[in-house]
Each structure stands twice: as structure tokens, then as C-alpha cells.
């Protein structure tokens, strides 16, 4: 019985870890895909050094 309980907890922790990794990758994807269009029109050098 204790072994089954450990396996269930292990599965839940693995699932939570995978959800966390997927959420992080999704956030990174959204940030990069949104900024790609911006930096296609504005060079990164101008963005970082321009004073306008």
C-alpha cells in the first residue's frame, strides 16, 4: 500500500514538473514570437543605443 502511495505521489510530481516546463516554454515562445516582428523593423542596436 505504501509503495502504491509513493508511485501516485511520484506521478503527480512528474506531471506538475512537466506542466511547469511546458508553461515556461510557452512563455518564452510568446515573448520571442512577439518581439521578432518588432525587431524585424527596429534593429536591436538602435533599440539599445538610440536616445529618441
Coarse DSSP helix, strand, coil percentages of the chain, rounded to the nearest 5 percent = 90, 0, 10
**Over 90: is that where the pLDDT of 52 sits?**
no
User: What is the model's pLDDT at position 25?
Assistant: 98
Answer whether 0.85 is exceeded by the pTM: no
User: What is the model's pLDDT at position 23?
Assistant: 98
Task: Report how far Cα 50 is from the mean position of its chain's Cα atoms.
Answer: 29
**Over 90: is that where the pLDDT of 51 sits?**
no
5-48, pLDDT tens digit by residue? 999 999 999 999 999 999 999 999 999 999 998 999 999 899 89
Contact 29, 37 (CB under 8 A): no
Amino acid at each position: 500500500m505504501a509503495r502504491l502511495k509513493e508511485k501516485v505521489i511520484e506521478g503527480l510530481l512528474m506531471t506538475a514538473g512537466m506542466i511547469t516546463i511546458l508553461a515556461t516554454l510557452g512563455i518564452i515562445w510568446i515573448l520571442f514570437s512577439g518581439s521578432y516582428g518588432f525587431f524585424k523593423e527596429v534593429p536591436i542596436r538602435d533599440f539599445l543605443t538610440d536616445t529618441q
